[in-house]
Amino acid sequence: MSTQTQHAVGSFSDTLALGEPPSRDGKNVQKKRVVVTGGSGKLGRATVRELASHGWDVINFDRVPPPPSTGENGEGALPGRYLQIDLTDMGQVMEALSEIDMSYKGVDAVVHLAALPAPGQTASSFQFQTNTMSTYNILEASRKNRIKNLVLASSETLIGLPLIPHPPAFLPITEESERRPESAYSLSKLVGEEMAGQYARWDPELRVVSLRFSNVMLPEDYKKFESWQDDPHLRCWNAWGYIDARDGAQAIRLSLESTLKGHHQFLIANEETVMRTPNVDLIKAVFPDVPYEPTAGPNDSLLSIRKAKDVLGFKPKFGWREQAHGARSGVSQRAAEEKEQW
């Protein structure tokens, strides 16, 4: 009897799940498969679209399904698969990263975005427990399933947000700035980074990239940017930073495509602040005693993205000035992109 496993459509094999058909030429040639936890969320939806458009087979792990369409741009349903899952249940995570019959078998990479977001939205202990346990489960289940390529959503909150009444030690803020969690949410992100570092120490072939995202914006969010232009204190809490969800997704894709080994952290923000007021005037008004190394441009981000640009090749494409103009004029970003293509 042949020792080779024969595959028939509708049966299990060593490489395919029940009901997962082989390619037409009889070979099991699959796209690289990536799990995006929290793929139904703000950054998650942009990430699913970005990765799918660059050739990844994407599976969205989330407690809730994505809406049938997202945003005022009229975007359709998300590509890829959706799997309902509780990430605090290790059994579910282990199984889901291994195989789901009638769906898929094997995962090449994981992007872990799922979390109870932002401080103050639930009991602090529950938020910390949920976020920390889900991150541990992803790291440990990935180890057991021999998944070597992971991206974790960390947060700008690690730098000590809000920066009032505790101003930063210096500006611009970099990855070398002291991590100063001030809430259960940011503490859970600190623990996540520490765990990632230890998992990378255990396995020299593992890559874990922790991306410290600034305040994530959708296209419809840019309408409100004008409302704080006259008061530098309104957005000083995170050094006037932000990141478009689509640019955040770009950073995630570049991290997955990198050849890094070990654990690496990157600040991910736009190249400019949310303000028209020059940095020197913002800092004089809000942080007059904080040492400031002037940026090359008058409005350059005070959350430095130099490391992400140099190492990952990250370059934000969606700035608030152009996006806000499009929102005011009623021109959607999708329409603008189609116009550029033509």
Per-residue pLDDT tens digits for 165-217: 989 999 999 999 999 999 999 999 999 999 999 999 999 999 999 999 999 99
**Residue with the larger pLDDT of the pair 300 and 14:** 300
Question: Quick check: is 136 in a domain?
Answer: yes
Greatest CA separation found in the chain? 81
Asked if pLDDT for residue 225 goes beyond 70, the answer is: yes
- Residues 22, 25, 31, 32: is their CA dihedral positive or negative? positive
Question: Quick check: is 13 in a domain?
Answer: no
Question: Quick check: is 250 in a domain?
Answer: yes
Question: Quick check: is 320 in a domain?
Answer: yes
Rounded Cα–Cα distance for residues 242 and 227 (Å): 15
What phi and psi values does residue 138 have, to the nearest 5 degrees? -65, -45
Burial 237-262 (b: 16+ CB within 10 A, else e): ebbbbbbbbbbbbbbbbbbbebeeee
Question: Quick check: is 313 in a domain?
Answer: yes
Number of domains in the chain: 1
Question: Quick check: is 146 in a domain?
Answer: yes
pLDDT in tens, 99-116: 888 788 999 999 999 999
DSSP string, 125-175: HHHHHHHHHHHHHHHHHHHHTT--EEEEEEEGGGGTSSTTTS--SSBSB-T
pLDDT in tens, 252-305: 999 999 999 999 999 999 999 999 999 999 999 999 999 999 999 999 999 999
Question: Quick check: is 24 in a domain?
Answer: no
Residue the block writes with tokens 């932002």: 118
Domain enclosing residue 188, as ranges: 33-338
Across the chain, what does the average pLDDT equal? 89
CATH code: domain of residue 145: 3.40.50.720
Q: Identify residue 192 by its one-letter amino acid code.
A: G
